[in-house]
Amino acid sequence: MSSTAKTNGKVHIAALDASLLTIELAETLKPIPTPGTYTFGDIKTDYMLVMTFDPLTGWSAPEIKPYAPLALDPASNCFQYCTNVFEGMKAFLDPAGKPRMFRPEQNMARLVTSAARMALPMFDPDALLVCINKLVSLESRWIPALPDHALYIRPTMIGTKPSIKVGASDHATLYVIVTPVGPYFQSSSGGVSLLAVGEHVRSWPGGTGGFKLGLNYSPGFVPQRIASDLGYDQVLWLLGEEKQITEAGAMNFFAVIEREDGGVNVVTPPLDGTILPGITRDSALVLLRAHAADPSKQLLALPASKPVYIEERVLTVPELAAASAAGTLLECFGTGTAVLVVAIERIGDVADPALKTITDIVMSAGNGLGPVGQALWDKLLALKEGRDDFHGWSVLCN
């Protein structure tokens, strides 16, 4: 039931209320597959969290119920005009076997921002997080008890106004599904390869690249296919004639460049609206800055004798190529919820649009994560698995 009420003949629109959450238990639970036998995102678990918004009554009571298809009108706004937004989160098992989420309030804030960009109905992010917490607790048996394995959490909001008229959707369905996952990339070399692509543009100033929208991803499928056909794992998205780097596949991009004074510059593109404000990206920057402020505390496993300098600035492919040629490009890596931190082993720099000449940019540290990427990987995984703590980032589900 909705919490809508009437006062003096006026209908009050119901807010999303976590206290109204109901749980319908499944009669039979599904068998748990063996880790390593499934690919990322394919497994459907026992339950899902669902709630809907109607402009006349507001938010329905949230429900956790057995996983099942959604019933939607064929004219639904999400099908016609791509009013689909989503988030990516993970729950890990801590040493006591309890599920934990990593900075989940940041995901909720970003989901609200994305929904607002699509003119979708607003909701209370704290209430949604309470409901997600309950879902994860109920589904905790699906979390693999293995390093770098987790329960991937996919909150999704879709516009469901049943009309093909062009315009915003004042109806919505907000749902959350989960799936057990292992490492996103299965690379024998310890890293991934990128094809730098400028002909196809993922995002641009004033566009929607800074939001987590479904429509930002599907246009990249053709360039991704081209990259795969040429022997590269992912696309390095570029902007403009200067070959300005934006994102690496669906990851934020980092480069580590050696300085003349013996220190290193850790460079990542700025949040200028063309890249997603990644939560792993932000966490990495916070950790790096805290380490740089007092290297003697060894927040990250990096030598105190090698100062780290963090730069959020425009980074171009020619700059990477020059650093690689000079032997000062120590490492590049991508960050994201799905991958955590992944090494970039080479970048294919396309000399002409016909793809006839491609020169690989390589890292002096070789394949696999270099010292900065490895230190971030170790720290972030320890935080996510509840083996370490920093500012209360690891949140226990109960």
Q: What is the mean pLDDT, run by run of 10 residues, along the chain of 398 residues?
A: 49 92 98 87 97 98 99 98 98 97 99 99 98 98 92 99 98 99 74 93 96 97 96 97 97 98 97 98 98 92 92 98 97 96 95 79 86 97 96 95
b/e per residue 91-119 (b: at least 16 CB within 10 A): bbbeeeebbbbbbbebbbebbbebbeebe
5-182 to CATH, choices 3.40.640.10, 3.30.470.10, 3.40.50.2300, 3.40.50.300: 3.30.470.10
DSSP reduced 3-state for 394? strand
Residues facing residue 10 across a β-bridge: 7
Query: With contact defined as beta carbons under 8 Å apart, do 211 and 202 qualify?
Result: no
**Domain pair 5-182 / 191-395, same fold:** no
CA distance 384 to 92: 6
Length of the chain: 398
Do residues 355 and 205 make contact, with C-beta atoms less than 8 angstroms apart?
no
What homologous superfamily does CATH list for 191-395? D-amino Acid Aminotransferase, subunit A, domain 2 (3.20.10.10)
Q: How far apart are the C-alpha atoms of 300 and 256, rounded to whole Å? A: 15
Residue of 251, 293, 301 lying closest to 276 (CA atoms): 251
Q: Closest Cα to residue 89, out of 392, 386, 384, 382?
A: 384
- pLDDT of 355: 66
pLDDT at 116: 98
Q: Which residue, 283, 397, 389, is CA-closest to 336?
A: 283
Structural domain boundaries in the chain: 5-182, 191-395
> Six-digit token pair at 324?
């690689």
pTM: 0.94
pLDDT at position 2: 44
Structure tokens belonging to residue 140: 């905790």
For position 190, what pLDDT does the model report?
73
Take residue 192 and report the two structure tokens written for it: 């991934």
At 17 the pLDDT is 98
